[in-house]
Amino acid sequence: MAENSCSGDFVAGFLVGALVGAAAALLLAPQSGEQTRTLIRDKGIELKERADTLTVEARKRAEEVQDQARERAGVLSTQAREKVERLQTKVRQAVEEGKTAASKKKEELLSRIEKEAEETAS
């Protein structure tokens, strides 16, 4: 986004500078009014063509940057999805290990209680 803004600022500055320079050159040059008008018209046409070229180039560059951004977003999305899946797998494993450990502990406690109950009864 920042590159697009800088490119637009550069193009605008370039065009304004070119127009100011051309106007100053035309107004300060010693020639007749007809020659000056012809020169202004020719320079205007030249500047329009140059601006059109720069606009096309800027548009192409903006499309390239947009395509790169889409590609990078896709890669980051895939990486994030893979990380989430790995974390979910780890959590599931931890839960299963916790259930297994709790079940074993429960069995140990029940057997201990049964032994103590038998010892107390005898």
pLDDT digits (tens, 9 = 90+) for 46-62: 888 988 998 999 999 99
**Residues 6 or more apart whose Cβ sits within 8 Å of residue 13:** none
Domain locations in the chain as residue ranges: 2-121
**Torsions phi, psi for 74 (to 5 deg):** -65, -45
The rounded radius of gyration (Å) of the Cα atoms in the chain is: 39
pLDDT digits (tens, 9 = 90+) for 97-114: 999 999 999 999 988 888
47 contacts 19 by C-beta, under 8 angstroms: yes
Look at residue 6 and tell me whether its pLDDT is greater than 80.
no
Confidence of residue 68 (pLDDT cuts 50, 70, 90): very high
Look at residue 2 and tell me whether its pLDDT is greater than 80.
no
